[in-house]
Chain A
Amino acid sequence: MVVNTIHWFRKGLRLHDNPSLRDSIIRADTLRCVYILDPWFAGSSNVGINRWRFLLQCLEDLDASLRKLNSRLFVIRGQPTDVFPRLFKEWKITRLSYEYDSEPFGKDRDAAIKKLATEAGVEVFVRISHTLYDLDKIIELNGGQSPLTYKRFQMLISRMDLVEIPAETITAVVMGKCATPVSDDHDDKFGVPSLEELGFETDGLSSAVWPGGETEALTRLERHLERKAWVANFERPRMNANSLLASPTGLSPYLRFGCLSCRLFHFKLTDLYRKVKKNCVPPLSLYGQLLWREFFYMTATNNPHFDKMEFNPICVQIPWDRNPEALAKWSEGRTGFPWIDAIMTQLRQEGWIHHLARHAVACFLTRGDLWISWEEGMKVFEELLLDADWSVNAGSWMWLSCSSFFQQFFHCYCPVGFGRRTDPNGDYIRHYLPILRGFPAKFIYDPWNAPESVQKIAKCIIGVHYPKPMVNHAEASRINIERMKQIYQQLSCYRGLGLLATVPSNATNNGDGNGAGPSSGDNTQESTHITGKPTSALSYSSYNSSLEMSDNAESFCCNLGVSKCFHQPNPLHVKYIPKILEIMQTSPQSNGVDDGSV
């Protein structure tokens, strides 16, 4: 029987550690690697030019690598549900392979395609290689629920089997007799499009600071490891002014698109550590970057509402302000705070900012200063940030805005002070906001405080050449910390005066031993915190009185949000109001059935 196989690239844009592709080739007669450009796929509509360029560069790189194997990449426009039945018929396909996608929409899309494949008699090979672990197994280990604290996640990870070693790279040997039929007009029909062809204006576009592709990814990996080995120090490097700039060893966009396998990175880190530290067991913190990514994929995988506040069972319902004008100022780097504006400028120009820079701008937008919803920030990052994908972006934003995962909200990143402490000289500001070059270090973070003479010399009058600060930070942070406190107090029913105790997880201080799951045996159980009893119905907010505080920080998450259990409707939801009005408007005498029937 002839085996004609399609490998469907979505993420996992690489030939190394690609087990689904590798397995697909075994005993296959023909192989066609396809990439489907689906402009209607959820999440891809809001994508900026840097992200498109990166993707196209990844596809070019794949095509080039496949050429070396006498194969090619097939780029096809359309929706997968339309494209695949056509391809199955045209190419007489008997096998389809793809890398497992853990995101809820991805799972739905893949279920539909799997069904189409089965109906067409096509066998489907799916392998996990975008994450270190099988996420469902971690969830299973936690009693069927996604762990919601990073600490618990780390504990579960330490009990999982070792990360699988990367699958062998696809080479001519691996290809063996498998061939790819390539037509003469392949470039016209299936070639990688250019940015112009996709409708982008490329005049004046500067060259990519982060060039896409597997080749570049692997080069960077080597550099990254070299640097670590040379430093012989695996601790988190101290933050300094240089860290803010794009690094030639940075890997996050490549991990996101799958140009670099996370398992390969994990493997190489472990290997290097053992060599340098003479066979010591590597601590979990070595893989920090990879584990955070894994954590967010895992918490998102069973939650289709993960990127929203409403109906999201793990998201605190916070009364964010709707303010498109303020949002635009933040997004376009016109806040009047040079630290914030420089970061947003770097993001827009280059597509990457340091994680502490992300904290700074996320805090400023949400709980720190503007009190605007994290969903708005998430959308801007989705457009501009190369390494932002659905799970990690949404998860990070919820984390940074203290909307989930029990974050203490007291620490606020000052849009003046934090920048100043990171880069006292202000070179980063001068680099991305040339208009402020003339300001001395003393005033570059708060130029509105500079005397007029200084502004004149700098040829930049605040309010004319550069905006005045859009908020008073002291006032804003005072108001906002009070808001956060009110919200968390209402949820945790804590009525004391402490700021820290308002957040329930602090009761156990992240010692997640009091989980209900079977895996909690190791940790000490402790409830040192005064848990508030549910307030009685006659208290201040009677209809919220059904919220209950439990000692278990993990199960607390089911109570976040206005309704006690998620999936129950919000009683004040507009659709239920007519019912209540109807009831209130009927006078007692004429009400309904009077036969006492229940």
Chain B
Amino acid sequence: VCSTLEGGGPGPGTPELCKRLRQGDSEDGAVDWRQLPEEILLQIFQYLPLLDRAFASQVCRGWNQTFHMPELWRCFEFELNQPASSYLKATHPDLIKQIIKRHSNHLQYVSFKVDSSTESAEAACDILSQLVNCSLKTLGLISTARPSFMELPKSHFISALTVVFVNSKSLSSLKIDDTPVDDPSLKVLVANNSDTLKLLKMSSCPHVSPAGILCVADQCHGLRELALNYHLLSDELLLALSSERHVHLEHLRIDVVSENPGQQFHSIKKSSWDAMVRHSPKFNLVMYFFLYEDEFGPFFRDEVPVTHLYFGRSVSKEVLGRVGLTCPRLVELVVCANGLRPLDEELIRIAERCRQLSAIGLGECEVSCSAFVEFVKMCGGRLTQLSIMEEVLVPDNKYGPDDIHWEVSKHLGRVWFPDMMPTW
């Protein structure tokens, strides 16, 4: 045990401690483990998974007491699965009952992982409604497959969620993506937790309106991380996040999703983005696009401070060309698919203009080998992530498929190969 204190090798205080333990010796020189101070035992228990801890707690009364100390019950992840809809095991219902009975007021960091069945989502709400004595700091509602929270009656979900909002009063981190949360419940959140809220993830919450999220930004001045869908983004929101009273924003994640082909999207003024950058010069803007090729009209016309860009469907050569011109802060670019016209010029332009670029991923695209080598040369060692599917690189008269990786490795300063898929 001595050597596992602090999780590392023997620490400076360890020899003395071991000596102290040995002072309570019995004649044969054995160590009396009952003398192990509770704080030390607690620390050790913190490294053990629940099952091992439970076994350890059976050793003696003292160790059992430590097992039930509040510090060990701060975090819990409830896994709610039904055999009909999941292969994974669920947290046993009796275990859940015990935790609520004995430790609900100790819980601070709680997450719910639910499968695609409505029963699992209901079970999560059931637990939430019982967390009356809890002062949660973190709450995460995570759908591991189809979003089952969306299938619940909205009022049922909202009332369970507001139990936590009202009782916690010190929520710092909230993940409620893919849930039927609405504007009124956000108001309740804000009324009780505006001083403490730092992180809010609510992508794909269709019942929230831009006004609803604006309310959060206006009141929760400590908000540092925000994730939402594009339809909730407005100039007012960005200005609220850049107001003097607001802390520096760290991450803003925006999902741009098309419901129907030909959907129109509003645009955000360049001045709003500029205000954001002025207020929070280091903030990361993560944008995930799931649009049809012809829906990119309002995007990438003016400079936008995006740092991480993902195109989840196919994106046209033209739009990628615009990306090069309008995204000077770009750090990561991932393109799922483009098509069969080579992206040579577009990539070179991105290498020229996006001087912070350190990660690029290309799926179903085409780039000539020479242009790719040029791109890598220009970016050099700053490319820490280079994930290119093998078929992307089109051999030309300078490079063939077998020597391209050496050329690229040379310019990167490390061994590199393209990503491969089985050709069986």
Contact = CB atoms under 8 A, between A and B. Distances in A.
B313 A477 contact: yes
Given A411-B364, A412-B312, A598 B424 contact: no
Nearest to A239: B391
Given A411-B337, A509-B386, A571 B308 contact: no
A588 B308 contact: no
B286 interface: yes
Interface string A31-52: 0000000000000000000000
B49 A323 contact: no
Contacts, number: 291
**Interface majority SS on B: helix, strand, loop or mixed?**
mixed
B336 A410 contact: yes
A309 B109 CA distance: 29
Interface stretch (B57-65, B125-133, B234-242): B57-65
Nearest to A574: B89
B205 to A, nearest CB: 13
Interface string A538-556: 1111111110000000000
A547 to B, nearest CB: 10
A242 to B, nearest CB: 16
B136 to A, nearest CB: 12
B79 to A, nearest CB: 7
A411 B255 CA distance: 17
Contacts of B412: 509
Interface size on A, as a range, is 35 or more
Nearest to B358: A498
B265 interface: no
Contacts of A595: 60
Interface stretch (B110-118, B162-170, B210-218): B110-118
B3 to A, nearest CB: 17
B23 interface: no
B60 A596 contact: yes
A593 interface: yes
B158 to A, nearest CB: 22
A540 B138 contact: yes
A136 to B, nearest CB: 22
Given A321-B116, A387-B424, A486-B142, A417 B33 contact: no
B213 to A, nearest CB: 19
A134 to B, nearest CB: 21
Contact of B415 (A319, A418, A526, A584): A526
Contact of B67 (A417, A526, A569, A583): A583
Given A411-B364, A537-B46, A285 B116 contact: no
A320 B87 contact: yes
B67 A319 contact: no
A591 interface: yes
Contacts of B370: none
B368 interface: no
B192 interface: no
B258 A474 contact: yes
A214 B154 CA distance: 64
Nearest to A446: B261
Contacts of B98: 581, 584-585
Interface size on B, as a range, is 35 or more
Contacts of B334: 410, 499-500
Interface stretch (B143-151, B182-190, B273-281, B342-350): B143-151
B148 to A, nearest CB: 10
Interface stretch (A93-101, A266-274, A286-294): A286-294
A198 interface: no
A333 interface: no
Interface in B200-239: 203-204
A589 B258 CA distance: 60
Contacts of A239: 391
A52 B310 CA distance: 46
Contacts of A410: 310, 334, 336, 361, 363, 387
B54 A580 contact: yes
Instruction: Count chain A CB atoms within 10 A of each CB in B71, B291, B361 and give the residue with the most.
Output: B361
B75 interface: yes
Nearest to B385: A500
B422 to A, nearest CB: 5
Contacts of B95: 577, 580-581, 584
Interface of A: 150-151, 235-236, 239, 252, 283, 285, 288-289, 292-293, 296, 309-310, 317, 319-323, 355, 359, 371, 373, 387, 392, 395-396, 399-400, 407-408, 410-414, 417-418, 421, 449, 473-475, 477-479, 481-483, 486, 497-501, 506, 508-511, 513, 523-524, 526, 528-529, 536-546, 569-574, 576-577, 579-581, 583-586, 588-589, 591-598
30 contacts: A285-B402, A293-B424, A322-B87, A371-B145, A400-B421, A411-B337, A449-B261, A473-B313, A478-B204, A499-B332, A501-B384, A506-B387, A509-B385, A510-B415, A511-B416, A529-B385, A537-B46, A537-B75, A538-B46, A540-B140, A542-B75, A543-B77, A545-B47, A546-B47, A571-B49, A571-B50, A572-B79, A583-B67, A584-B54, A592-B60
